[in-house]
Structure 1
Amino acid sequence: MTEIRGTTVPLRLLAVHAHPDDESSKGSATYAHYRKAGVEVLVVSCTGGEQGSILNEHLEARAHAERDIAGLRILEMARAQEAMGVDHVWLGYSDSGLPEEGESVAVNSFATIPLEISTEPLVRIVRRFKPHVLLTYDENGGYPHPDHIRTHEVSVAAYEAAADPARYPHAGPAWQVSKLYYDRIMNTTRMRAIYEAIKVETPDSPVLAQMDEMFERWGERADPSTTHVNVADSFPARDDALRAHASQVDPTGFFFLHSHELQAKVWPTEDFQLIDSKVETTLPETDLFAGVTE
């Protein structure tokens, strides 16, 4: 419990993601960290990941995945939710898939639904949950998957509409979210710092080649992060959440090829960009709720 504008209420964080597993690779340590501090955290999955492929060649539940990937991903999300200690809801839309160039997305999938329609269920969630902070992706979706881009669009639209009593008047009393952030966890500054540390400590690590390829794809990106939250205490919960999505995450893969100790020493934070704030704050920040509390 924290003093907010003179009233003792729980702080609340809403994180909006495209598919089950996105929440675990993009902020799970932050969510687990804030849950330990007593913050209420709600994760929204906009789609069920029905178009996902099996990305883990070591998957034990392969037969289940091949028969019913959507059903398996529901179970995986429940395990990830437990690992982070958060609440979770499905927005209810169908995965759009990642079409090849020139192909269209799946019919009636999330990316094809008019924005005015797909925004309303998220407005209902915002007005019911009453978050002080909303986290989502930037206008490129973090990477240009149709569902990630639509998640950005829906999140920003809901952030604005939820505060306007004239918009979606049947979706509950208006609520003004105090702060809007974009995920910047996979920023080049962080990744290069970890890369250099791995070169020194374990120069034969296979992750170095993977990171070289990643840097080549990314090119020279600016790092727009404004807010750096120390979440080293929750790296184990992040890894448990990632492993929960066994169909999507290889337990011997990229996320697990450097130690918690190295990460905690070199880059103990997860990083975000403040996009809009209705409260006064000073940049850079070390807390997503900076300015919300009095």
Structure 2
Amino acid sequence: MAVHAHPDDESSKGAATMARYVSEGVEVLVVTCTGGERGDVLNPTFALPEGHDMSSLEGTAALRRVEMAAAAAVLGVRQHWLGFVDSGLPEGDPLPPLPEGCFALVPLEEAARPLVELVREFRPHVMTTYDPSGGYPHPDHIKSHEVAFEAFHAAADPERYPGTGEAWAVRKLYYDHGFSMDSIRTVHEAMEGAGLESPFGEWVESRTAREIPERPVTTRVPVAAWFPQRDAALIAHASQIDPNGFFFAVPRDLEADVWPWEEYELAESRVPLPQPEPGTYEDDLFAGVREGAEVSA
């Protein structure tokens, strides 16, 4: 189960991992917390499809649902809307208040309850979501972390959230690291080394200047063979993703050569795991889970 804030987040964070596991017979469920109603059109070549209107939150949400369905089909995953309203990204100094009724303002237990119920129904062995910072400071990303963290713990406790089904203990919780500075620097240097213009120059400098702390990476899942599905899922979000933009500026053969992984941070595990050797990484989100299933069988 991958818990995300908006439609398109699943395609930019961990999409190749999900496609890989689907190809191995794993059932994957993407949970989208909001409808993406307040997302701006970020693709300068986007043409509004006939029959759609983005002048209202409802109209935008309807289009984002169509795009999400297309992306889910490409990845082969199931997808579930948690049903909350996009908070938007506040801008300005001072920041404006968040819109009334938006996801970020929903009390935690109210926001987590439908996810607890879904965990108990779907019974995932692994959950992924964002770290406590949200990956970047969007209020919906931070709230998604809080809700997923709450559901991971509460779903296992039969005393909590009565009326939402039988308790289920998810085995492992991961935070995805879609844009770690290590990956950005590595690809940036490889691009420059190949005599190509890197799209990451300003990003490397600006993030380094702000001294954004790097969280630990415990897991690198090899997924280069599933980059095509990831890219197609991104393009399915046509209002958000420019097919000639940032996400596609790196030649895929170069990326596969220098950074063929998607990275994660193991936040919690309910299964025993060996202590990794320094400088080594877990390469499977189901490490320890598969072995436990075999023992149970």
TM-score over 0.5 for the pair = yes
Please give the secondary structure, in 2, of the residue aligned with 1:273.
strand
* Range that drifts further, 34-43 or 100-109: 100-109
Residue 86 (structure 1) aligns with? 77
- Partner amino acid, structure 2, of 1:44: V
Q: Distance in 2 between matches of 1:126 and 1:220?
A: 32
- Partner amino acid, structure 2, of 1:290: A
Correspondence 1:54 to 2:41: yes
Residue 17 (structure 2) aligns with? 30
* Equivalence map 1:136-147=2 (5 Å): 136-147=129-140
Q: How many residues align?
A: 280
Q: CA RMSD in A?
A: 1.6
The Cα offsets for residues 110-134 of structure 1, whole Å up to 9 and x where unpaired, read as 1111101111100011000000000
Residue 107 (structure 2) aligns with? 114
Correspondence 1:232 to 2:219: no
250, 274, 282: which one aligns with 2:266: 274
Residue 9 (structure 1) aligns with? none
Quick one: structure 1 residues 28 and 214, their matched pair in 2 at CA, closer, same or farther if it must change by over 3 Å?
Answer: farther
Quick one: structure 1 residues 218 and 250, their matched pair in 2 at CA, closer, same or farther if it must change by over 3 Å?
Answer: farther
Residue 290 (structure 1) aligns with? 287
| Alignment check: 8 A CA contact 1:24 1:238 kept | yes
The Cα offsets for residues 234-268 of structure 1, whole Å up to 9 and x where unpaired, read as 00000001001111111111110112211111010
Residue 185 (structure 1) aligns with? 178
The Cα offsets for residues 29-52 of structure 1, whole Å up to 9 and x where unpaired, read as 110011001111000000000011
* Equivalence map 1:1-294=2 (5 Å): 14-61=1-48, 64=52, 66-67=54-55, 68-100=59-91, 101-203=94-196, 205=197, 207-212=199-204, 215-216=207-208, 219=211, 221-282=213-274, 283=276, 284-294=281-291
Ranges in structure 2 where 5+ consecutive residues have no aligned partner: 292-297
- Partner amino acid, structure 2, of 1:265: D
| Alignment check: 8 A CA contact 2:12 2:178 kept | no
| Alignment check: 8 A CA contact 2:188 2:198 kept | no
Ranges in structure 1 where 5+ consecutive residues have no aligned partner: 1-13
| Alignment check: 8 A CA contact 2:181 2:204 kept | no
Q: What TM-score comes out, normalization by structure 2 length?
A: 0.90
After TM superposition, give the deviation of residue 184 of structure 1 in Å: 1.2
**What stretches of structure 1 move > 6 A for 4+ residues in a row?**
none
Q: Distance in 2 between matches of 1:209 and 1:279?
A: 41
Q: Distance in 2 between matches of 1:112 and 1:124?
A: 20
Please give the secondary structure, in 1, of the residue aligned with 2:97.
coil
Residue 10 (structure 1) aligns with? none
Q: What TM-score comes out, normalization by structure 1 length?
A: 0.91
Q: Distance in 1 between matches of 2:9 and 2:145?
A: 13
| Alignment check: 8 A CA contact 1:184 1:224 kept | no
After TM superposition, give the deviation of residue 291 of structure 1 in Å: 0.5
Quick one: structure 1 residues 244 and 94, their matched pair in 2 at CA, closer, same or farther if it must change by over 3 Å?
Answer: same
Residue 294 (structure 2) aligns with? none
Quick one: structure 1 residues 208 and 126, their matched pair in 2 at CA, closer, same or farther if it must change by over 3 Å?
Answer: closer
After TM superposition, give the deviation of residue 222 of structure 1 in Å: 2.7
